[in-house]
Amino acid sequence: MLEWAFLLLPVAAAYGWYMGRNSIKQNDQSAKEALSKKFSTGINYLLSNQQDKAIDFLIEALKVDNDTVEAHFAMANLFRRRGELDRALRVHEYLVQQKHLPSKDKQKAIYELGKDFLSAGLYDRAEDMFMRSLKTNLYGLKSLTFLFQIYQSTSDWQRGLAMEKMVVKHDDKKLLHILANFYCEIATKALADKKYIEVVEILEKALTLDPNSCRTHWLLAKVYEDQEQYSEACRCYQEIYHQDNEFFPDVIENMHQCYIKLNDEVEFYAFLRKAYEETGSSSLLIKYVNYIRVKNSNKKAQDYMMTALNRRPTIRGFKHFVKLQNDDKECESNNESMAMITGLISSYLKVKPRYSCRTCGFNSSTHYWSCPSCHGWEQLKPVRGLEGE
């Protein structure tokens, strides 16, 4: 019973406001009494846990005066928040059907009904409602955002792209970023079919919408690699570093291979060292230390690693340090023990997620361009800190 007390608050507040506002209208006394009776009956039903009957009475009260409409919105939104979608739908649908409602209330009812359908997973009906809200000043951008949520859930990328003009008109950064990723989804499929010209055309459109999309440059780099245009691929990888260096550890191997093809490893390691000094990433450190080992000696590599780990300890870095010692023929340490430590650290790291979502904190060993939890695009990046980069 008590749980209904909070549901009554907005209803009672709106009712109180209504009654206060109308107290000066002495000639409207009979309507007020009728409304008062219906509200009281409705609230009584709510208190006795007969919500459906309560809705009947409260809806009936709306017919008396439009001023009660806010109370109905509050009631329906509470139903939705409690997961009682059928009841929320019933109230909002009733409001939408009311021809005498002012335009702003009608628009709100249509928009809220869209949210009810979306919560219920009825995407086509939600889409209808949001489409109807698109041209309104108050709900246009919000409806567009929900429409993109629907198209993302149904992987209906083309429907989203059909909204491009509207997104550009709103000039909303978040939506432009989402739309660029819709283009990337289509480009990924075209790339799998090796339709390179088509892929580049699609990605150019994506870059127009969001010049800072790492994913777009990542796909472009793939195209250039497949076409053996390695300097162009390297330029894309450098672009990823400048756009969002948290993505960089995942492309470092590909970038290295491109520089090998260009026979320009010196430039690669110069870039790598600069990137490591700026970010402190363990993947970059390991890559650079391996270079020192080949160019100089294992001992020099160990010294560099030791200094780096003292400055910024990471488990991955420590594992590589142990490996260097294990490989060192002159090292007096017990090789068997070292191998065991390396094995233990590997097992430990294997169960640790490689990626985390920067928006919601979702962890995963696999990379997704769209977070499976919050559905944000390009939010899963390599984990930072002691157990990550």
Q: Does 260 bind Zn ion (CB under 5 A)?
A: no
What span, in angstroms and rounded, lies between the C-alpha atoms of 223 and 183? 15
Q: Does 362 bind Zn ion (CB under 5 A)?
A: yes
Return the C-alpha torsion angle 214, 218, 220, 224, nearest 10.
150
Q: Does 145 bind Zn ion (CB under 5 A)?
A: no
Output the smallest distance, CB 375 to Zn ion, in A: 7
Residue 328 backbone phi and psi in degrees, to 5: -80, 110
Question: Closer to Zn ion at the Cβ: 23 or 153?
Answer: 153
Distances from the Cα of 357 to the Cα of 91, 155, 175, 376, angstroms: 37, 21, 19, 8
Stretch that binds Zn ion, among 2-10, 108-116, 248-256, 353-361 (CB under 5 A): 353-361
CB 90 within 8 A of CB 62: no
Question: Closer to Zn ion at the Cβ: 75 or 380?
Answer: 380
Question: Closer to Zn ion at the Cβ: 215 or 316?
Answer: 215
Tell me the number of residues near Zn ion by CB under 5 A: 7
Q: Which tokens is 17 given?
A: 């406001």
Q: Does 31 bind Zn ion (CB under 5 A)?
A: no
Binding mask 366-385 for Zn ion (x = CB under 5 A): -----x-xx-----------
Q: Please report where in the chains the tokens 């930072």 appear, as a residue.
A: 384
Question: Closer to Zn ion at the Cβ: 270 or 360?
Answer: 360
Question: Closer to Zn ion at the Cβ: 246 or 328?
Answer: 246
What span, in angstroms and rounded, lies between the C-alpha atoms of 311 and 218? 31
Out of 359, 368, 370, 384, the residue judged to bind Zn ion by CB under 5 A: 359
By 3-state DSSP, what share of the chain in percent is helix, strand and coil, each rounded to 5? 75, 5, 25
Q: Give kind and range of the element (H or E) at residue 383.
A: none
Question: Closer to Zn ion at the Cβ: 344 or 374?
Answer: 374
Q: Which tokens is 323 given?
A: 């490996």
Residue ranges in contact with Zn ion by CB under 5 A:
357, 359-360, 362, 371, 373-374
